[in-house]
């Protein structure tokens, strides 16, 4: 822990032109209470397999796979070696008008893993970029089809789709939206799918709620299908507090979109690559969307990467006109970065060779039963599980919303050696897919201890 005196000394050194290693002032951390953090830092020095390690060598069980991304665990030797070898051979290659083997190989492997005719990959660098890319492809698709009036985008309340202007426009988390003006015009939202009254303490998909998809028909009636380009949803809403889809909900969305000729986008930045026991959640639910966004676990969080899997129908619509003409005026400097591609290819090998998607599927009931054992602890209002994802809703303290979960996160890290995620008063746990049954027991035991401590 960095002391106040140490911070003052660091600040004095920085004012003289030197930067001390424990100077915490210059970094404005994202999605972080910066003042609270800098008073009581939670510092990480290294990671291996299921654990992070603090600068003083204390092991911290990773209950959140980094940030929903390190599905293969940390510092896997084969992935590290692939990154090192790639850096020594091809450090960067422009993706505008040039290509490299790693990008094409990775695109082919992802297309082979994806359901249906999602046979083309457009690469970017994050989930936020993936969402904005998918929305732009949807709008451009209708333009090249001669239906440029289809400009309306439909998201969902409590949805999280990254932090680009497109993503926060279709997203439905108020704190991510309220500071940034009117956002994109012509966006509407489906209702979220959670009801504590009907769904509390559900393992897997809740029985209640499929009818909420029918609200899309109301939106179509209000705006007319000829104005709607796409609907985007997370199969499982993750960042808002883990909301599994009701049974039949995603299938009904697909049917309504087909009825009105609307594109359906699955945001699988969190769900993809084994989190729900399959390569993609679309496979779990037997629904083939028109696009899937991905990021995070595609290379187990080792090098920034994201992308969009696109149906052949959409891709082919752009492949018109003179061959020398750019078909889509969109892209990023680091699209299909060689290091990110090498890391992804090595990660996909780990997933395959260790059957980590199958492992997640087999561990799902063990994980769910273990988390549900916390039911009845003080202030626990609900527990939800799906795949290797779980959420625990805590009751707020009077006049201090969010304080109980924040204290739980801090105590878990500082006192018990456990990393968890919080959203409001919700604790989320999403461990790497390599977690053992004994480590599930350790995770849940520490969760129980911290919930009692913040009662």
pLDDT tens for each residue of 358-371: 999 999 999 999 99
Across 323-339, average pLDDT: 97
Other CB atoms within a 10 A radius of the CB of residue 221 amount to 9
Other CB atoms within a 10 A radius of the CB of residue 220 amount to 22
d(CA 185, CA 187) in angstroms, rounded, equals 6
Residues of the chain with CATH 3.90.1150.10: 24-75+355-453
**Residue 9, pLDDT above cutoff 80:** no
d(CA 356, CA 350) in angstroms, rounded, equals 8
Quickly state the pLDDT bin for 181 (edges 50, 70, 90).
very high
Higher pLDDT, 240 or 6: 240
State the DSSP string of 372-435.
HTTTTSTTEEEEEEETTEEEEEEPPBTTBTTHHHHHHHHHHHHHH-EE-EEETTEEEE---TT-
Residues of the chain with CATH 3.40.640.10: 78-353
d(CA 405, CA 401) in angstroms, rounded, equals 9
- Domain 24-75+355-453: assigned CATH number: 3.90.1150.10
Nearest to 338 by CA among 84, 74, 75: 84
**Residue 288, pLDDT above cutoff 80:** yes
| Alpha-carbon distances, residue 244 vs 26, 248, 440 (angstroms) | 39, 11, 20
Query: What topology does CATH give the domain 78-353?
Result: 3.40.640
**Residue 20, pLDDT above cutoff 60:** no
**Residue 18, pLDDT above cutoff 80:** no
Can you list the alpha helix ranges (DSSP code H) found in 17-100? 34-39, 65-68, 77-89
The pLDDT, as a whole number, for residue 22 is 72
- Strand ordering across the sheet containing 389-394: 380-386, 389-394, 426-429, 421-423
The model's pTM is 0.95
**Residue 133, pLDDT above cutoff 70:** yes
**Residue 308, pLDDT above cutoff 70:** yes
Kindly report, residue by residue over 233-271, the tens digit of the pLDDT: 999 999 999 999 999 999 999 999 999 999 999 999 999
Kindly report, residue by residue over 62-83, the tens digit of the pLDDT: 999 999 999 999 999 999 999 9
Across 161-169, average pLDDT: 97
Contacts of 149 (CB under 8 A, 6+ apart): 142, 226, 227
d(CA 95, CA 98) in angstroms, rounded, equals 5
* Range in 15-24, 284-293, 347-356, 406-415 the model is least confident about: 15-24
**Residue 416, pLDDT above cutoff 50:** yes
């Amino acid at each position: 822990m960095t002391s106040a005196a140490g911070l003052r000394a660091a600040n004095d050194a920085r004012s003289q032109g030197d930067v001390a290693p424990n100077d915490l002032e210059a970094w404005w951390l994202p999605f972080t209470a910066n003042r609270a953090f800098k008073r009581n830092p939670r510092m990480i020095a290294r990671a291996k397999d299921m654990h992070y390690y603090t600068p003083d060598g204390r092991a911290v069980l990773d209950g959140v796979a980094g940030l929903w991304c390190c599905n293969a665990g940390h510092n896997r030797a084969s992935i590290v070696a692939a990154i090192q070898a790639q850096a020594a051979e091809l450090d960067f290659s422009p993706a505008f008008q040039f290509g490299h083997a790693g990008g094409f190989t990775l695109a082919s492997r992802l297309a082979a893993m994806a359901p249906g005719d999602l046979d083309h990959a457009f690469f970017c660098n994050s989930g936020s970029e993936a969402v904005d890319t998918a929305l732009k492809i949807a709008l451009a698709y209708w333009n090249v089809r001669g239906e440029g009036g289809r400009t309306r985008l439909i998201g969902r309340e409590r949805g999280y789709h990254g932090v680009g202007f497109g993503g926060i426009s279709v997203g439905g988390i108020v704190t991510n939206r309220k500071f940034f003006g009117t956002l994109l015009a012509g966006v509407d939202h489906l209702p979220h799918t959670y009801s504590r009254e009907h769904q509390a303490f559900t393992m897997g998909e809740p029985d209640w709620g499929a009818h909420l998809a029918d609200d899309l028909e109301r939106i179509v009636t209000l705006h007319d299908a000829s104005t709607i380009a796409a609907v985007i949803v997370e199969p499982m809403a993750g960042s808002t507090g883990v909301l599994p889809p009701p049974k039949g909900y995603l299938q009904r969305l697909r049917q309504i979109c087909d009825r009105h000729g609307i594109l359906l986008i699955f945001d699988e930045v969190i769900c993809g690559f084994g989190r729900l026991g399959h390569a993609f959640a679309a496979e779990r639910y037997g629904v083939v969307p028109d696009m899937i966004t991905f990021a995070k676990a595609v290379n187990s969080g080792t090098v920034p990467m994201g992308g969009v899997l696109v149906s052949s129908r959409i891709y082919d619509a752009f492949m018109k006109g003179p061959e020398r003409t750019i078909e889509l005026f969109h892209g990023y400097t680091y699209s299909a970065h060689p290091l990110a591609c090498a890391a992804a290819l090595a990660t996909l090998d780990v997933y395959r060779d260790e059957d980590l998607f199958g492992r997640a599927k087999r561990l799902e009931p063990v994980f769910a039963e273990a988390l549900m054992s916390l039911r009845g602890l003080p202030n626990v209002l609900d527990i939800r599980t799906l795949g290797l994802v779980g959420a625990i809703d805590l009751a707020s303290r009077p006049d201090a919303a969010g304080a109980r979960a924040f204290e739980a996160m801090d105590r878990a890290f500082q006192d018990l050696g456990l990393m968890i995620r919080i959203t409001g008063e919700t604790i989320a746990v999403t461990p790497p897919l390599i977690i053992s049954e004994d480590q599930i027991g350790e995770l849940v035991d520490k969760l129980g201890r911290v919930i009692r401590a913040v009662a």
